[in-house]
Amino acid sequence: MVRMAHVLDDFLSGGAAGVEEAVRKAAAVEILPRFRQLAAHEIVQKNGPHDLVTVADRLAEEHLTASLTTLLPGSVVVGEEAVHADPRGLDALADGDPVWIVDPVDGTRQFVHGDPGFATLVCLAHRGELLASWTYAPALDLMAVARRGGGAELNGVALRSGSPEPGAELRVAISHYDFTTDEQKRVLGALDTEGVAVRPCGSAGLEYLHVAQGSLDGLAFSWENPWDHAAGLLLVAEAGGVSGTVAGEPFRVTGGNALPFSAARDEPTLRHILGLLASAG
């Protein structure tokens, strides 16, 4: 355990720049050439008409799996598409090997519809601890990087989430209703109240970036897929923001969380959002 901690420290000190290059290359080779160029047979429904996967998702994940495990020998990948094929892949999150948590195209629906609001998300974790993350929106030329204890940056400029203006209406993005049950809709509906401006979220990774930038005050999600949240949670935390579940506990990428959970620019905003959600539970 101690030796692995040293290995990861050494990697993050000297090899992490290679991760950004790998993420950019995967997007350049497998994603951007297919943006607004997808054929009908390259788009497949996974769990219904709103849950889509494309050839770009699959090939980008394969590309990243090869490149990231080469950069950090002994590491494994927990990727959205691989776990969809074999859910046992999630078990790696609690094992002793370093884990790359990968969402090759976060916001596949946006990608399919030609909307540039999609991202590639990569987070390095060990035994559930988030160590570093990369949030890359290739069509928007945005690269956000965070390192545990080392801060967060967007295109090389430091990110600070700050706090909402006193008395201002809170801007909160919530789980899109296309992906929620009736009970989840009811609980999330508690946020549709005076002083809160609610809208459905797009790419989860980019919504986390908006919180880290301070252009969005908070998020509320009803699902816990680690590839949707790991990179963004670390990004928000390193920008000065906070997160938590309705049970008053930290969100665990290893799963088993009380839901919904929230991320916000500051502690008072988080408490307000979670309080509203808890009141409907």
Would you give the DSSP letter of residue 159? -
Rounded Cα gap, residues 135 and 66, in angstroms? 19
Q: Is 80 annotated as a binding residue?
A: yes
Q: Within 10 A of 89 (CB to CB), how many other CB atoms are there?
A: 17
Closest CA to 130 of 20, 224, 235, 213: 235
> Residue 51, annotated ligand binder?
no
Chain centre to alpha carbon of residue 43: 22
Secondary structure element (H or E) that encloses residue 267, with its range: helix 267-279
Query: Does the annotation flag 20 for ligand binding?
Result: no
| Closest listed residue to residue 122, CA positions, set 42, 16, 256, 222 | 16
Distance CA(146)–CA(277), nearest Å, equals: 28
- The response to whether 192 counts as a known ligand-binding position is no
Q: Which residue numbers belong to the known binding site for Mg(2+)?
A: 80, 103, 106, 228
Known binding-site positions: 80, 103, 106, 228
